[in-house]
Amino acid sequence: MIQVTEMQVPLYPRSICWFRRDLRLNDHAALFHALKASRSVHCVFVFDTDILDKLTDKQDRRVEFIWHSLNELNTQLQEQGSTLQILHGRAQALIPQLARELDVAAVFCNHDYEPDAQLRDAAVAAALDESGIVFHHYKDLVIFEQSEILTLGATPYSVFTPYKNAWLKKVDDFYLRAYPTERYFSSLAQCAAQALPALETIGFAQGQLNLQALPAGGSGAGKLFDDFTQRIQDYQEARNYPAIKGVSYLSTHLRFGTISIRYLAATAYHTAGAGAQTWLSELIWRDFYQMQLHHHPKLAQGFAFKPQFNAIAFPNDEAKFSAWCEARTGYPLIDAAMRQLNQSGYMHNRLRMVVASFLVKDLHIDWRWGERYFAQHLLDFDMAANNGGWQWAASTGCDAQPWFRIFNPITQSEKFDGQGKFIRRYMTELAGCADKWIHAPWLMPLAEQKRCNVLIGTTYPAPVVDHATARVKTLALFQAANDAAAPSGG
């Protein structure tokens, strides 16, 4: 099998650059190498049915975001006299087929670290090899990948802080430099413009994505980042409060590569202040979780990083799970966060931790159920980060929250949404609730419930669980799993 990574390559008459999680032209590793090494480069994207057929919601916001981002990418290519070729079907069959039809000598792409993607790429590489076509692939999604950051014992880190320190020690302007693709745009294949197929032709529909809140494409990423750089100095504190504009809102753009991670990391790295450095830490978490998935592929198969917690006897009450999914738990901050997710495809990061902890440690639902729900609904869904976040909250992962440390949903609400602004934004039925009661409305006297028209059990549900009682049960569940895994004395 011919597979070439970053090294000197011969000049090819024709090549393909296969776009996947990198929907931009600037600072694009594979495109840079393709353009530099080829006389003519055809740009291709595949609406891969191996992925799309698994999406049950045919108004999936992610597909719509991709479509709008591709439309912008195609316009940019057409301005250079080229076009984006869009295919629909199984990528592992279509890419080799197109490579033969175009008589290319090489296919270039960037690494995708998810297990299914790696199997796909291996199949593509094997098919290309049979036709004598070279397969080049490059690092682009992260700053450091796989085994680039290891302990002194050459093992992967399992705790974030020492990993981060090693990352910061190694990083420099070499690793953060941009790939100057613009210098080689003359190597883009000159061909007739092709319009994108309508979403309906591939079985999806538009209308669920709020393009004002989340503008698509590289231009949308640029607008969001320009806005964030005006606020980045406040990020360390502001990121914790869901009612204010404190985060970057770039996670979906990072997921689909409409903006370069090198550009973002370089900006943060070279910006003084706690805000920028805290945000850089969040970017380093991305590398950390991708590294974990590479070294521990069983994480993608539903296994806990800490094996003693694989056998926790979660009761998994389906009625409680439905209440969580449908924002009917009776805990206002939890319900507001779930409405935010269900209505927009986005959830504030602080709230992701709180609702995940609540599902596992208050409702006693297996963390894998929540992981799957987020995977179905999050615009920025990334397998490594999603798994890492859920296992952190569930105390089953690497460098996770200790299992005996359990978020109190009421105190989290009081601390991070003190005036209930976020709650009222999504839970309009609680709009009349006074600040005193907004975090635990079931404690309101009946007269107060009538006054503000919030009748517990009628207009707003009573709590599905008592936190204090649930906490005791959680400690017992985890202690039992710990005890069962402990070696017997003798």
How high is the pLDDT of residue 164?
98
pLDDT at 210: 93
CB proximity list for 59: less than 8 A, separation 6 or greater:
204, 205, 206, 207, 208
What was the pLDDT predicted at 488?
A: 53
Going along 351-417, which residue ranges are E strands? none
Residue type, 140: D
Q: For residue 265, what are its two tokens?
A: 């990391």
SS3 content of the chain, % helix, strand, coil (to 5): 50, 5, 40
d(CA 351, CA 48) in angstroms, rounded, equals 32
**pLDDT at residue 489, rounded to an integer:** 47
Say if domain 3-140 classifies as CATH 3.40.50.170: no
What's residue 8's pLDDT?
A: 53
- 3-class SS at 298? helix
Q: Is 159 exposed, middle or buried (0-12, 13-18, 19+ CB in 10 A)?
A: exposed
Q: Within a 10 A sphere around the Cβ of 402, how many other Cβ atoms?
A: 8
> Mutual orientation of helices 318-325 and 349-361 as an angle, nearest 10°?
170
Closest by alpha carbon to 382, among 255, 488, 236, 481? Answer: 255
Q: Phi-psi category of 27—alpha, beta or left, where left has phi over 0 and alpha has psi -120 to 50?
A: left
Q: Where do the domains of the chain lie?
A: 3-140, 142-177+220-295, 307-482
What is the C-alpha separation between 260 and 26, in angstroms, rounded? 8
Tokens of 187: 């190597």
Instruction: For 182-193, write each residue's pLDDT tens digit.
Output: 999 999 999 999
User: Within its chain, how far is the Cα of 363 from the centroid?
Assistant: 25
Q: How many helices (H) and strands (E) does the chain have?
A: 21, 6
**How far, in whole angstroms, is CA 237 from its chain's centroid?**
22
CATH topology of domain 142-177+220-295: 1.25.40
- Distance between CA 205 and CA 59 in Å, rounded? 5
Low-confidence ranges of the chain (pLDDT < 50): 1-4, 6-7, 489-490
Closest-CA residue to 73 (of 84, 81, 85, 61) = 84
Residues whose CB is less than 8 angstroms from the CB of residue 468 and which lie 6 or more positions away in sequence, other chains included: none
Whether the CB-CB separation of 367 and 390 falls below 8 Å is answered with yes
- Amino acid 10: pLDDT: 64
Domain 307-482, what architecture? Orthogonal Bundle (1.10)
- In this prediction, residue 75 carries a pLDDT of 98
- Residue 1: what pLDDT? 36
